[in-house]
């Protein structure tokens, strides 16, 4: 039986579970993080706060011609500020992306996971990996439209940002939001954050950034980390998919094919049984004598 997560939060969805999630109570509102890219000064304090609070292993930084600390996310790096230099109107602009789990309302990782209870989604919107149930298949990595989960070969488990679930459960904001010196990261109810994001977008548009948008992609049911993107017409330069979907393509087909497959195998067993009842064994006559 799947081990329940340490958190006592009400559960909305559990991976690979054919029965409904155990939660019948709903605990208050959904929470969300709002990242205003236009306010980020690139200090990477949030990266440190994330490592400190979650006690993640230290990985040496590397100078590869970018302001970025590491090349990629890892099982020990759940948050990475990505820096891309882009030419905008004959000028150079710095596109910064806070790369971490977006906590989708329709989580592709959870739908792809074959291990019961290895991925849970709480009623507050946070998607959490419960490594006690993880079997290390990494199918969540392929199910994620944002390429976030990372495998640790030593533990054979997959890890990602858990939105500081232990802090949130205690009524605190995530460590990254707490530490941000410019208030580029806001924390509150999803409703409030959407309203705040829209106000920020209006403000940016008034300042001449006509293409500013609030990134809350509907293809994954919206996210619980949203971005205020100054140059919304260049989402690809931020490494943000324009129209991400949960369980796209083959994964969507798999759901239907599985039902057919299970039926076919069940009918196959039944047919063999009925054939035996109908025709019985065929015994060589000579030997029976």
Partner 1 sequence: MRHGEIQRFTFLERIVHWVVGLSFLFLLLTGLAFSHPRLFWLTTLAGGGATARILHPWMGVAFTVGGVAMFFLWIRDMRIDAADREWLKAIRYYAVHDKARVPAAGKYNAGQKMFFWTMTALGAAYLVSGVPMWMPGGVLGVGPFYGGIVNAMRLVHYMATVGGGLLLIVHVYLGTVAYPGTLGAMLHGSVTRGWAKLHHPRWHGKESGR
List interacting residues with partner 1 (CB under 8 A): 16-18, 112, 114-116, 133-139, 141-143, 147, 151, 156, 249-251, 253-254, 257-258, 260-262, 264-265, 268-269, 272, 275-276, 279, 281-288
Residue 20: both structure tokens together = 């409904």
Q: How far is the CB of 130 from partner 1 (least distance, A)?
A: 12
Q: How far is the CB of 139 from partner 1 (least distance, A)?
A: 7
Buried b / exposed e across 96-116, counting CB within 10 Å, b at 16+?
bbbbbbbbbbbbbbbbbbebb
Query: In the block, which residue shows the tokens 């340490």?
Result: 6
Q: How far is the CB of 113 from partner 1 (least distance, A)?
A: 10
Residue 188 C-beta-side C-alpha neighbours within 13 Å: 12
Number of neighbouring beta carbons within 10 Å of residue 89: 5
Task: Choose between 170 and 269: whose C-beta lies nearer to partner 1.
Answer: 269
Q: Report yes or no: 196 and 177 within 8 Å, Cβ to Cβ.
A: no
Q: How far is the CB of 32 from partner 1 (least distance, A)?
A: 26
Task: Choose between 207 and 275: whose C-beta lies nearer to partner 1.
Answer: 275
- What CA–CA distance (Å, rounded) separates 109 from 258? 18
Task: Choose between 31 and 78: whose C-beta lies nearer to partner 1.
Answer: 78
Task: Choose between 151 and 238: whose C-beta lies nearer to partner 1.
Answer: 151
């Amino acid at each position: 039986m799947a081990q329940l997560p340490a958190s006592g939060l009400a559960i909305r969805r559990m991976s690979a579970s054919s029965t409904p999630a155990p939660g019948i109570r709903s605990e208050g509102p959904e929470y969300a993080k709002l990242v205003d890219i236009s306010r980020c000064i690139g200090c990477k304090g949030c990266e440190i706060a994330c490592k400190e609070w979650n006690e993640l292993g230290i990985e040496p930084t590397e100078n590869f011609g970018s302001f970025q600390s590491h090349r990629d996310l890892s099982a020990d790096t759940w948050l990475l500020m990505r820096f891309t230099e882009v030419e905008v109107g004959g000028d150079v602009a710095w596109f910064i992306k806070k790369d971490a789990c977006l906590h989708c309302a329709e989580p592709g990782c959870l739908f792809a996971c074959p291990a019961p209870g290895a991925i849970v989604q709480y009623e507050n919107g946070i998607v959490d990996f419960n490594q006690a149930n993880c079997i290390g298949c990494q199918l969540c990595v392929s199910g994620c439209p944002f390429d976030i989960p990372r495998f640790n070969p030593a533990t054979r488990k997959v890890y990602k940002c858990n939105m500081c679930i232990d802090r949130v459960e205690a009524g605190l904001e995530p460590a990254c939001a707490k530490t941000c010196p410019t208030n580029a990261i806001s924390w509150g109810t999803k409703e409030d954050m959407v309203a705040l994001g829209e106000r920020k977008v209006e403000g940016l548009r008034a300042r001449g950034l006509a293409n500013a948008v609030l990134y809350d992609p509907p293809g994954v049911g919206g996210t619980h980390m949203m971005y205020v993107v100054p140059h919304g017409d260049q989402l690809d330069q931020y490494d943000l998919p324009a129209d991400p979907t949960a369980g796209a393509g083959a994964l969507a087909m798999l759901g239907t094919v599985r039902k057919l497959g299970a039926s076919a195998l069940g009918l196959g067993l039944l047919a063999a049984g009925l054939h035996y009842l109908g025709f019985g064994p065929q015994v060589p006559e000579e030997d029976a004598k």
